[in-house]
Amino acid sequence: MAGSVAAVTLGTSLTNRLVAADAGLDEKLKGKINHSVCRWCYDKISLDDLCKAATKIGLTSIELVGPEEWPTLKKYGLTSALPWGAGMGIEKGFNDPQYHDALIKSYEEVIPKVAAAGFKQIICFSGNRKGMADEQGLKNCAVGLKRLMPTAEKYKVTMVMELLNSKVNHKDYMCDRTPWGAALADQVGSDRFKLLYDIYHMQIMEGDVIATINKYQQYISHYHTGGVPGRNEIDETQELNYPAIMKAIVATGYKGFVAQEFIPKREDKLASLKQGVQICDIA
């Protein structure tokens, strides 16, 4: 009987949240979290329509967008908390010296454009292991990134390496654990290199999300969400307690952005986006 009551309560709670999201209520957000969204999760929606929805929901950023899309964001008064436009993709990164010259050229061309657009960060990747030991990859990444730090520091743009899981989504990716990323940041030795702590990916690889955030907060300059398992909505259908995680992030003094990066399963994808923002909009 207790299980049945719990199931009904859970179902009612979820239904209420979905109704509120569908209703398009223009509630003022609480302001403790700066909300962003990753463009690729809504690639079937035009960027103009996504910008319109974002401003209505209360987001102030759309990210993982390239230079050709930045003017559209500006048209709607939005920023990009974490743009892209440089690099060679996820698999070919700074851990392999054969890519260093091309990567450095690519980032040195884009970083000034990022700064001119008024953005503060740009994403980067470690690359895949391809049989390489983690310690060697760490050294290689540090060598390549140190070459870029003078440009990043000159333009006040932070390079942010994403922590990705190598268990489910990105087989063989090297920067797949927070301690490795933190060790890399120590070797690079610049405030213009930080980590993107993707909550979905690190729940899969490490767990202990709140404890890890508390321990490594000084290395993190950006966060992504996603439901585990499946990378779908971050509501009661998955295992993470996102309000508790958001409270822990705020308690560290973090002032950056949290971006929704889940793949909506519901037909009304924008309702799912609004729901995700509401879940993370803690008091």
Per-domain residue ranges of the chain: 27-280
> Phi then psi for 195, rounded to 5 degrees?
-115, 145
Q: Is the pLDDT of residue 246 over 80?
A: yes
Catalytic option among 108, 162, 206, 239: 162
pLDDT in tens, 113-161: 999 999 999 999 999 999 999 999 999 999 999 999 999 999 999 999 9
The pair of structure tokens assigned to 112 is 């000034």
Question: What is the chain's mean pLDDT, rounded?
Answer: 92
Catalytic option among 27, 69, 91, 261: 261
pTM recorded for the entire structure: 0.90
Judge contact between 159 and 122, C-beta under 8 A.
yes
Name, in order, each residue with C-beta under 8 angstroms of 205's C-beta and a sequence gap of 6 or more.
163, 165, 166, 167, 176, 177
Known catalytic residue at 261: yes
- Dihedral of the CA atoms 112, 113, 119, 121 (nearest 10)? -60
Per cent of the chain over pLDDT 70 is 90
pLDDT in tens, 174-218: 999 999 999 999 999 999 999 999 999 999 999 999 999 999 999
pLDDT in tens, 29-87: 999 999 999 999 999 999 999 999 999 999 999 999 999 999 999 999 999 999 999 99
* Position 28 confidence tier, pLDDT thresholds 50, 70, 90: confident
Question: Can you tell me the mean pLDDT for 256-267?
Answer: 97
Q: Buried (b) or exposed (e) across 88-108, using 16+ Cβ within 10 A?
A: eebebbbbbeebbeebbebbb
Lowest mean pLDDT among 4-8, 36-40, 226-230, 255-259: 4-8
* CATH assignment of 27-280, among 3.90.1720.10, 3.10.20.740, 3.20.20.150, 1.20.1530.20: 3.20.20.150
| C-alpha to C-alpha distance for 80 and 66, rounded to whole angstroms | 10
Please report which helix (H) or strand (E) contains residue 197, including its range. strand 193-198
